[in-house]
């Protein structure tokens, strides 16, 4: 059996994350793309944190931005749920999971 450490995860973006990503400046996009690509090999990298109050969502930091994602270990899937500036991403996240 292949362990999760060796398997490669597939990345999917929610429509919300796609929309948010398009609004970000090119320099930050490049850094985010690298960080997201690295998740395919290590979905819980150093510095990733589980979001308080959720069972499945994690976040990684890229400069002043946060990438919120869900890990589905059994299917080897990472769903990028949302991307945003640190000042308002958590408020947006809490509002969106209530609906």
What is the per-residue pLDDT for 1? 39
> Domains in the chain, ordered, with CATH?
10-98 (3.30.2310.20)
Q: What angle do CA 63, 69, 73 make, to 5 degrees?
A: 135
What is the per-residue pLDDT for 46? 93
What is the per-residue pLDDT for 2? 47
* pTM for this predicted structure: 0.84
What is the per-residue pLDDT for 24? 93
> Would you give per-residue pLDDT tens digits along the chain (99 residues)?
344 556 799 999 999 999 999 999 999 999 999 999 999 999 999 999 998 878 889 999 999 999 999 999 999 999 999 999 988 887 777 767 665
């Amino acid at each position: 059996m292949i362990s999760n450490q060796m398997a490669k995860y597939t990345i999917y973006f929610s429509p919300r994350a796609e929309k948010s990503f398009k609004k970000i400046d090119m320099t930050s996009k490049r850094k985010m793309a690298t960080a997201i690509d690295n998740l395919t090999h290590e979905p819980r990298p150093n510095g990733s944190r589980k979001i308080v109050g959720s069972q499945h969502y994690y976040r990684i930091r890229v400069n002043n931005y946060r990438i919120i994602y869900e890990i589905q270990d059994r299917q080897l899937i990472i769903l990028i749920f949302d991307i945003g500036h640190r000042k308002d991403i958590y408020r947006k996240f809490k509002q969106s999971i209530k609906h």
